[in-house]
Amino acid sequence: MATSHTSNQQDLIERAQKVMPAGGFGNFDSGVVIREGNGARIWDEDGNEYVDYLIGSGPMILGHGHPEVVEAVQAQLTKGTTFFANNAAGIELAEEICNAVACADQVRFVSTGGEADMYAMRLGRAHTGRDKIMKFEGGYHGMSAEAQMSLAPEKLVNLPVAVPDSAGIPDSVRDEMLIAPFNDIDFARSLIGEHGDEIAAVIVEPLQRVVPPAPGFLEALREECTKHGIVLIFDEIVTGFRVAYGGAQELYGVTPDVCTLGKIVGGGFPLAAITGKADVMANFDKAKVGDDRFLMQHGTLSGNPVAAVAGLKTLEILRRPGQYEKLFAAGETVMGSITSHLNAAGHAHTIAGHPSLFNVVFTDAPVRNYRDVLKGDTRKQAQFEAALRRNGVFKSSGKTYISLALTDIDLALTDAAVAEAVKALDD
């Protein structure tokens, strides 16, 4: 499964560079063009085959082209692809989300996770009448101005000062953001205690990228937000229906006021959701809250029926007995391969995350937050990732997504690729 570039892919890369900034969609390495996917495998335009641990950045938990999802989508296509008005599949999907997710009394659909997070923060402001948002350094919440504060700062300033990660963001946005280190309970309590009457919402990935919450951390956030009347938002775009059917709030036993969902709920199609407690979600209903507290939200493709039927079928399959056990077992196998080969070669490392979603960090120190991840050996990390790609394993530099489509053969090929990647590392 070694990879190479031939004229077909190179031609597409050169064409893309002429018509797209930086030659791509802005999401991933523009030096590869994917032709197709099936199960846990993908092929690029030169026919190079990979075991896929990117899986569309998480949505394809069942693998590519799952026949039951394809059948459901094909049936909907003949009935219409979008209506703007309500549709039965979208209503049924909202019902299933409310059944599955602890905080979800009601659901409002959008098309992307970034939209969902943007509206969730705005919802906190509408509900409380306050302006400030507290987030955690290194936490990813989409592309809004608020979300692009201290996502991946290269300059590490004294917290809670926010650092914009993009041009085009007014200083006034930075002034309304408070940044805290993930997993630091004392810092979070102190910051909320000082600014509690100004903070509209605290937004957090309960599993931040691949860093799990420390014992008591999410519980402390819940307690402080309740005490100060702050809306607690769990960004479960990634963890929703992945780490458990009810998401991270089921896994960790902490219920937020609002959570955002994406990726898996659309079954590989553009769909995301804001969910939450009825009193908070009421701000989407002008008849209930009046003009001053009403949060306007429209989207041409929100609740799209094709995405809704794909999401419904995906969730139906995930509810079947043994699915999560299979998913986690595959992840534990890959984690074990990485640990075994790196230990044998004497490379210090930590695997951070959950069996369904994780990554290796080349450090022997605990990984509890963004700055701990930065302390890892980035040169060795880059060598490892590049060698995996050369040996037929496709993933992002920051995450390893596990899918239910992985077979024993896929896992064996992955183990062989990891062994070769470890050989490529500098001592």
- Smallest CA-to-CA distance from 305 within 262, 270, 259 is with 270
As a whole number of Å, the CA-based R_g of the chain is: 22
* CA 90/CA 303 separation, integer angstroms: 5
H-helix or E-strand containing 43? strand 41-44
Catalytic residue chosen out of the listed positions 132, 135, 263, 313: 263
Q: Which residues of 189-220 are buried (b: 16+ CB within 10 A; e: fewer)?
A: bebbeebbeebbbbbbbbbbbbbbbeeebbeb
Q: Report helix, strand or coil for 376.
A: coil
140 is catalytic: yes
Catalytic residue chosen out of the listed positions 44, 117, 184, 235: 235
* CA 235/CA 247 separation, integer angstroms: 10
Query: 393 with 208: CB under 8 angstroms?
Result: no
* CA 419/CA 392 separation, integer angstroms: 12
Query: 98 with 106: CB under 8 angstroms?
Result: yes
Write out the E strands in 218-301.
231-236, 258-261, 272-276
The percent helix, strand, coil of the chain (3-state, each to 5) is 40, 15, 40
* CA 232/CA 255 separation, integer angstroms: 9
* CA 320/CA 386 separation, integer angstroms: 36
- Residue 355: cis peptide before it, omega within 30 degrees of 0: no
Which token pair is 384? 């490892």
Catalytic residue chosen out of the listed positions 50, 140, 252, 324: 140
State CA 45 to chain mean position distance. 27
227 is catalytic: no
370 is catalytic: no
Question: Max alpha carbon distance in the chain (Å)?
Answer: 66
- Smallest CA-to-CA distance from 284 within 274, 298, 295, 273 is with 295
Q: Give the residue numbers annotated as catalytic, written as ranges.
A: 140, 235, 263
